[in-house]
Amino acid sequence: MRGKILHESRGRMRVRLAQRHMTPAQADILETWLAAREGVQRVTVYDRTCDVVIVYTGPRARIIRAIAQFRYALVPAEEVVPSGRALRREYEEKLASAVIRRAVSRFILPLPIRRIVTFLRALRYIWEGLRCLMRRKIEVAVLDATAITVSLLRGDTETAGSVMFLLHIGELLEEWTHKKSVDDLARTMSLGVEKVWMRTDGQEILVPLRQVQPGDEIVVRTGSMIALDGKVVAGDAMVDQSSMTGESVPVHKTAGSYAYAGTVVAEGECIVRVEKTAGHGRYDRIVQMIEESERLKSAAEDKAAHLADRLVPYSLGGTALTWLLTRDATKALSILMVDFSCALKLAMPIAVLSAMRQCSRSGITVKGGRFLEAVAEADTIVFDKTGTLTRATPRVAEIIPFDGRDPDEMLRLAACLEEHYPHSIANAVVEEAARRGLSHEERHSRVEYVVAHGISSAVDGERVLIGSYHFVVEDEGCQIPEERVFRHLPKQYSHLYLAISGKVAAVLCIEDPLREEAADVVAALRGFGLHTVMMTGDNERTAKAVAAAVGVDDYHAGVLPEDKAAFIRGQHDQGRRVIMIGDGVNDSPALSEADAGIAISTGAAIAREIADITISADDLYALLTLRRLSTALMGRIRQNYRTIIGFNLGLIILGVAGILPPTTSAFLHNASTLVIGMQSMTDLQ
């Protein structure tokens, strides 16, 4: 692809491509391809001007070479990341078309033709009002139809035309808001799975997702996402399908069952024979699921819609009463020209969308407006420890073997088991083995994962366990060798126990460094009035040390997944609103139970799936941003209510008093609706 450099500074380049026109789809392809190039930190494509802005590190020549090598055919359709620009272009054109048609009608068409056009356009609104009455309901459609009909009967086509124009603009903006919310959410729910375990000749091999073909078999275990559609050929698993079917309870999958891409194995494991490769219909299914769900709607949006409908009878009653008392049709019409519905139904969704958009720019993905409200109203926040208050990259600090076993062999065996499960401690074991150059070929049979406890398998005919003290020693009854050494394990570390044939063979000491910002974030959250709690499966000693270091109000050690969920239910019974933040499989029940569940994006797939909010930022300061934006959103919504009700009520009073004619009232009402809507689209902070 040829192009011309328009502007350049250190690490930043703006290039105009040598093509006359660029479609939104082509812009998405270019943006996807360039974003994947080495050294590219950020890329923005402007389809209208055929410009691309690249922020990069490394050699300038590498970026120029990448642009020169680009061809649209290089990127398969299933790999393109949609940006939403096609949707934005569609509604920008619809809005521009509506404004142009209004201008032509108002200033160019002769008066007789303008009246005919206005009457024909009014038929739709009148019919909607009649349909509402036939359903024995008095809602906003009745008020709109009445205002338009009265204006036409009085011969005031200008007012009728203005009312319909503003109603049409409101409908377009509301539709745009909804579709953009759905599109944004569907894109954030993309799988994010890059590699899968493929079963080949009785062995499991970790391969890139794009290499999997129909007919291949992939292995999916507890906490992992099913990356591709297919049929289960072996195994037994409970699968969370809520992202595709809306079912709230995990579904039992055995041989012969069908598995959907994007669903998560909540418990067990299964082997799936792939039928559809990446990119076939997944986005469409997600969009359909969201559109059929009420999950996006916030309580504020529902309240606005219901309030607008409840005010309709009062507006109609006020109109009739004014006419009976004054016999002045002009004063009565002033009430009809001012309804509360346009602004109430338009401003609230736009305010919520603006907050969600601003959250996204801060590395926070919110799956619906009601979860922002929950964050704003929460008075308790519960933290998981590992991977949340601590870094998601713990490391193996020391290996303590028993009975003369080789530390490297113990690490090799531990890595062989742990590599199958996506958890920060498991990753630490695998990475330490890699750092020491220890290969860990598959020597074990079927691996069984016990949630929040550990892993069980068989290696060379011997039963091998790895996990917590509670699992290995207390539940499984494994013997403790060298009691003196065992009692004096380093206290500053968390411990991972490896047992072979019923006897503890080694203890892996895990160093889990605290996040540098954890204490500051906890202190700030307490300053916001939140009661802070830490819950962890770690022992009392480790939990107490971490709790003291970060400054939480309360902590609970040695808890199981069901204990976290039970704690949150207990808080609800006390009338408290609870936020839960975690990253692991064991946090999933609590994330689901909380008013707003927040997941760390580097955590397990099932945690991200169940959570209402996902933080992809590099630090916990995003929690403070989330709380501030949520609080600011609720403040904006309250301000919108006061402004809309107060201003329109003032217009009604001035109209009834005869100070404002109906046309002026209608103009001021419509203008205020647009102003409030535009203001709601601005950033909250």
Q: What secondary structure does DSSP assign to 396-450, as a single string?
A: EEEEEE-TT--HHHHHHHHHHHHTTS--HHHHHHHHHHHHTT------B---EEE
pLDDT at 443 over 60: no
Residue 330 lies in a domain: yes
Give residue-wise pLDDT tens across range 140-173. 788 788 878 888 888 878 878 877 887 787 678 7
Residue 340, classed as helix, strand or coil, is coil
Residue 356 lies in a domain: no
- Regarding whether 676 and 657 lie in a shared domain, the answer is yes
Q: CB–CB of 350/644 below 8 Å?
A: no
% of the chain with per-residue pLDDT over 90: 24
- Regarding whether 253 and 270 lie in a shared domain, the answer is yes
> Among 48, 53, 51, which Cα is nearest to 88's?
48
Q: What's the total number of domains in the chain?
A: 5
CA atoms within a 13 Å half-sphere pointing along the CA-CB vector of 62: 13
The mean pLDDT of 2-31, rounded to a whole number, is 90
> Among 529, 420, 511, which Cα is nearest to 466's?
420
Residue 35 banded pLDDT, cuts 50, 70, 90: confident
Per-residue model confidence (pLDDT) at position 293:
42
The mean pLDDT of 657-676, rounded to a whole number, is 79
Residue that terminates a domain, selected from 83, 113, 139: 83
Joined tokens for residue 277? 């490769």
Residue that terminates a domain, selected from 41, 67, 83: 83
Task: Give every CB contact of residue 22 below 8 A, 6+ residues apart in sequence.
Answer: 30, 45, 47, 48, 50
Axis-axis angle for helices 369-377, 299-326 (nearest 10)? 100
Per-residue model confidence (pLDDT) at position 405:
92
- Looking at residue 632, its amino acid is A
pLDDT at 289 over 60: no
- Regarding whether 96 and 41 lie in a shared domain, the answer is no
**Range scoring the smallest mean pLDDT among 9-18, 68-77, 185-194, 274-283:** 185-194
Residue 177 banded pLDDT, cuts 50, 70, 90: low
Q: Which of 23-37, 242-256, 288-302 tops mean pLDDT?
A: 23-37
Axis-axis angle for helices 140-153, 329-336 (nearest 10)? 140
Per-residue model confidence (pLDDT) at position 441:
66
- CATH number of the domain that 542 lies in? 3.40.50.1000
Axis-axis angle for helices 157-188, 111-134 (nearest 10)? 60
Decide if 384 is catalytic: yes
Per-residue model confidence (pLDDT) at position 294:
42
Q: CB–CB of 347/680 below 8 Å?
A: yes
pLDDT at 543 over 80: yes
Secondary structure letter of residue 514 according to DSSP:
B
- Regarding whether 664 and 572 lie in a shared domain, the answer is no
Catalytic residue chosen out of the listed positions 384, 512, 587, 595: 384
Per-residue model confidence (pLDDT) at position 392:
60
The mean pLDDT of 569-583, rounded to a whole number, is 93
Residue with tokens 């539709």: 175
Give residue-wise pLDDT tens across range 462-506. 889 998 888 898 888 899 887 777 878 887 787 899 999 999 999
- Regarding whether 506 and 411 lie in a shared domain, the answer is yes
The mean pLDDT of 620-632, rounded to a whole number, is 93
Residue 191 banded pLDDT, cuts 50, 70, 90: very low
pLDDT at 299 over 90: no
- Regarding whether 237 and 155 lie in a shared domain, the answer is no
Per-residue model confidence (pLDDT) at position 292:
47
Backbone angles phi, psi at 467, to 5 degrees: 165, -155
Cα-Cα end-to-end distance for the chain: 40
Mean pLDDT taken over the chain: 82
Task: Give every CB contact of residue 165 below 8 A, 6+ residues apart in sequence.
Answer: 98, 102, 670
- Regarding whether 415 and 495 lie in a shared domain, the answer is yes
- CA gap 277, 229 in Å, rounded: 7
Residue that terminates a domain, selected from 83, 111, 127: 83
Residue 207 lies in a domain: yes
Residue 290 lies in a domain: no
- Regarding whether 314 and 168 lie in a shared domain, the answer is yes
- CA gap 673, 634 in Å, rounded: 19
Residue 287 lies in a domain: no
The mean pLDDT of 95-115, rounded to a whole number, is 88
Per-residue model confidence (pLDDT) at position 90:
85
Residue 210 lies in a domain: yes
Give residue-wise pLDDT tens across range 383-425. 998 778 887 678 899 999 998 899 999 999 998 888 876 667 7
- CATH number of the domain that 49 lies in? 3.30.70.100
- Regarding whether 272 and 231 lie in a shared domain, the answer is yes
Residue 248 banded pLDDT, cuts 50, 70, 90: low
Per-residue model confidence (pLDDT) at position 25:
87
Residue 290 banded pLDDT, cuts 50, 70, 90: very low
- Regarding whether 178 and 305 lie in a shared domain, the answer is yes
* Helix spans in 508-620 (H): 518-527, 540-550, 561-573, 588-593, 605-610
Per-residue model confidence (pLDDT) at position 474:
87
Per-residue model confidence (pLDDT) at position 577:
95
Residue 471, classed as helix, strand or coil, is helix
Residue 551 lies in a domain: yes
- Regarding whether 212 and 134 lie in a shared domain, the answer is no
- CATH number of the domain that 471 lies in? 3.40.1110.10
Residue 273 banded pLDDT, cuts 50, 70, 90: very high
Q: Which domain holds residue 537?
A: 364-391+514-616
Axis-axis angle for helices 329-336, 299-326 (nearest 10)? 180
pLDDT, greater one: 291 or 449? 449
pLDDT at 246 over 80: no
Secondary structure letter of residue 225 according to DSSP:
B
Residue 245 banded pLDDT, cuts 50, 70, 90: low
Per-residue model confidence (pLDDT) at position 194:
65
- Regarding whether 494 and 402 lie in a shared domain, the answer is yes
Give residue-wise pLDDT tens across range 331-364. 877 777 776 766 776 777 778 877 887 887 788 8
Residue 235 lies in a domain: yes
Q: CB–CB of 396/517 below 8 Å?
A: no
pLDDT at 242 over 80: no
Q: What Rg do the C-alpha atoms of the chain give, in angstroms? A: 31
